[in-house]
Amino acid sequence: MSMITVSTSPFDDQKPGTSGLRKKVTVFQQAHYLENFVQSTFNALDDKKGKTIVVGGDGRFYNPEAIQVILKMAAANGFSRAIVGQHGLLSTPAASHLIRKNNAYGGLILSASHNPAGPSGDFGIKYNVSNGGPAPEMITDAIFANTKTIDHYQIAELDDIKLDVTGTTTLSEMTVDIIDPVVDYVALMAELFDFDAIRALIAQPGFSFCFDAMHAITGPYATALFQEALGASPTSIINGVPLSDFGGGHPDPNLTYAKELVDIVFADDGPQFGAASDGDGDRNMILGHQFFVTPSDSLAIIAANAHLIPAYQSGLSGIARSMPTSQAPDRVAAALNIPCHETPTGWKFFGNLLDANAATLCGEESFGTGSNHIREKDGLWAVLCWLNILAARKQSVSAIVNDHWQQYGRNYYTRHDYEAIPSDIAQKMMADVENGFSSLVGQTLANRTVRYADNFSYHDPVDHSHSSQQGLRIGFDDGARLIYRLSGTGTEGATLRVYIESYESDSAQLNIEPQTALADLIAVADELAGISSRTGRTAPTVIT
Ligand code: VG1
Ligand code: CO
């Protein structure tokens, strides 16, 4: 028998964050580190006999090594079948779809999303359950509990499997299907959208667009979709070849990190439409010519125009947004007479709502948008939503967004991130802000009255689980909000995220630059938490 049991001892830092376990590559390279986490995950699951697992990652450094370990451990833990993307590649949305399509028991996705990659960058691993979505807190808590007591793991002592050719092979008793990572995903997109209309739009002489894959996982998917299925020219995709260090870049689709795309689309002769995706393909940025669409607005506008997209023609059951996402989608939900659910940050909280058909569309302010077609956010899906809407409405991106504001009003919105601040300073700041809450209600700040100040908690209406301490929020009488959260995905010190929102319905006041429109609230946010005095930072690391 090739199965062996290896003795190990626990690591004390394997608590999954907002989206799985993320650490420096060098941390994952420690002996037994990856194995401990994988075994702890398997230990948290019921009987694996006869079950299928999907495995793939965003192609970052350490992906190939980790996949070999995971496959050998899956075989030793009794899985009967593994479905693996060729070369070990799968975007996060494609992995979610494969889990669902093949009725798999679950999947392991290897990604640290937008975090930089390479030998000195980050690596990550995340378990998804049978609905295709990230494991809910009940399971991530059980995984963490196992990491604290683990004393052995099981692995097959066999040669590595070759992952460069599609086909079926075996690893001891386990069947391994190496599949094209793109085909099933493209077929799903063709079912959801009006490809003929999008093809016609792209073929118009006056229309051009640019998609930036940021040297991460979406390159091959974008090529198959935009070029091969929809007829776009090869020059419409930039940075389309996945690299293990993402070309040294930071594949976070926002105005700061996707600067190359922004420069192209903001040039005077730039294309009418631009988009980018993140490291693992689950997030997106949408641009029109010289125009940026705020992610919260993107969700609201997709919802308001969903009837133009074949998959959503018959209506939406509801919308769900994370708490810090702006309230723009709430206004669309109210107009459509459907519920708008407010969940904590992280896609794992949308799974139950989607399964129960309580929501059709979901989104986060952090450039994540998705629907019930899978159980992850989906960057290319969002791009196709916009292309489908552009094709149907025959208007520019900026005209569609401006129309939306005229109809619903505008939720001015910005997020200020302060990266890599010392953890103790960040923790103290959050504690002090929360301690000040009792005296805050009723006070007047930035010409508004504070209506509530609390630490957000969520009661899941489907499984009745409870999640507390999900972000500090201050709500004003006019609907404006200030929110403070510490990131659960960073790997260096703490990242403070400050979310600032205010609502404007005066049709003459809808085109102000957001940092200007929100200036008074931004000043209050800094003052209340003492951000600059405590951290010495005079400006955020990133503004989105
Ligand atoms: C961030 C975003 C959150 C998103 C998460 C994972 O989390 O704020 O909205 O779900 O990243 O996305 P945090 O805890 O750092 O704020 V991804 O594309 O990194 O899997
Ligand atoms: Co991502």
Q: Is 18 in the pocket of ligand 1 (CB under 6 A)?
A: yes
Q: Are residues 444 and 483 in the same domain?
A: yes
Residue nearest to ligand 1 atom 13, measured at CA: 487
How does residue 46 score in pLDDT terms, banded at 50, 70 and 90? confident
> Same structural domain for residues 148 and 195?
no
> Is the pLDDT score of 488 beyond 90?
no
- Say which of 113, 208, 236, 371 is annotated catalytic: 113
Query: What pLDDT score does 290 carry?
Result: 96
Let me know: does 496 contact 417? Beta carbons within 8 Å: yes
Q: What pLDDT digit, counting tens, does each position of 226-271 carry?
A: 999 999 999 999 999 999 999 988 899 999 899 999 999 999 999 9
507 Cα–ligand 1 center, Å: 33
Reported as a pLDDT band with limits 50, 70 and 90, residue 334 is: very high
- Mean pLDDT of the region 60-70: 96
Q: Is 244 a catalytic residue?
A: no
Average pLDDT of the segment spanning 184-195: 97
- For the Cβ of 128 lying below 6 angstroms from any atom of ligand 1, the answer is no
Q: Distance from the CA of 278 to the center of ligand 2, in angstroms?
A: 6
- Write phi, then psi, for 77 (nearest 5 degrees): -95, 5
Nearest ligand atom owner, CA of 19: 1
The burial class, CB within 10 Å (0-12 / 13-18 / 19+), for 142 is middle
Of 147, 162, 181, the domain-final residue: 181
Using DSSP, state whether 279 is helix, strand or coil.
coil
CB neighbours (10 Å) of residue 29? 15
Regarding whether 58 and 8 lie in a shared domain, the answer is: yes
Number of folded domains that form the chain: 3
The percent of residues above 70 in pLDDT, for the chain, comes to 100
Q: Say if ligand 1 is within 6 A of residue 329 CB.
A: no
User: What pairing do the DSSP bridges indicate for beta strands 458-459 and 237-238?
Assistant: unpaired
Identify whether residues 242 and 216 lie together within a single domain.
yes
Q: Residue 134 pLDDT > 90, yes or no?
A: yes
Q: Does residue 1 surpass a pLDDT of 60?
A: no
Find the mean pLDDT for residues 512-528. 95
For residue 289, the model assigns a pLDDT of: 96
Mean pLDDT of the chain: 95
Task: For the chain, give the percent of residues with pLDDT over 90.
Answer: 92
Beta strands in 180-334 (DSSP E): 209-212, 237-238, 273-277, 284-288, 291-293, 319-322
Residue type, 375: R
Same domain for 281 and 386, yes or no, is yes
pLDDT digits (tens, 9 = 90+) for 191-223: 999 999 999 999 999 899 999 999 999 999 999
Residue 117 has pLDDT above 60, yes or no: yes
- State whether 30 and 165 are in the same domain: yes
Q: Minimum-distance ligand to the CA of 347?
A: 1
Helix and strand numbers, DSSP H then E, in the chain: 18, 27
Tell me, in angstroms, the distance from the centre of ligand 1 to residue 114's CA: 9
Q: Please compute the mean of the pLDDT values over residues 536-543 and round it to a whole number.
A: 90
447/390 same-domain check:
no
Same domain, 247 and 304: yes
- Please tell me whether residues 69 and 115 are part of one structural domain: yes
Q: Same domain, yes or no, for 152 and 294? A: no
Instruction: Give the pLDDT confidence score for residue 294 in this predicted structure.
Output: 96
Q: How far apart are the first and last CA of the chain?
A: 55
| CB-CB contact of 35 with 74 (8 Å) | no
The long-range contacts involving 445-450, CB below 8 angstroms and separated by at least 24 positions, are 445/476, 445/524, 445/528, 446/476, 446/480, 446/520, 446/521, 446/523, 446/524, 447/520, 448/476, 448/477, 448/478, 448/480, 449/476, 449/477, 450/474, 450/475, 450/476, 450/477
Q: Residue 47's pLDDT band (boundaries 50, 70, 90)? A: confident
DSSP SS3 for 165: coil
| Domain match, 398 and 522 both | no
Residues 145 and 36: beta-carbon distance below 8 Å: no
**Ligand 1 proximity of 487 Cβ (cutoff 6 Å):** yes
Please give the residue range of the domain that contains residue 420. Answer: 410-543
On the question of pLDDT at 18 being above 90, the answer is no
For 535-539, what is the mean pLDDT?
A: 90
Q: Give me the mean pLDDT over the 292-302 stretch.
A: 97
Domain boundary among 131, 148, 181: 181
Residue 224 pLDDT exceeds 90: yes
Q: What is the average per-residue pLDDT within 487-506?
A: 90
Q: What residues are paired with 236 via a beta bridge?
A: none
Q: Are residues 136 and 146 in the same domain?
A: yes
The enclosing domain of 469 has a CATH number of 3.30.310.50
User: Model pTM?
Assistant: 0.93
Distance CA 450, CA 476 (A): 4
Q: What is the mean pLDDT of residues 393-406?
A: 97
DSSP reduced 3-state for 424: helix
Residue 379: give its domain's CATH number. 3.40.120.10
Nearest to 302 by CA among 263, 270, 338, 328: 328
DSSP-derived 3-state class of residue 226: helix
Q: In the structure encoding, which two tokens stand for residue 378, read together?
A: 């989906």
- Residue after which a domain boundary falls, among 408, 428, 449: 408
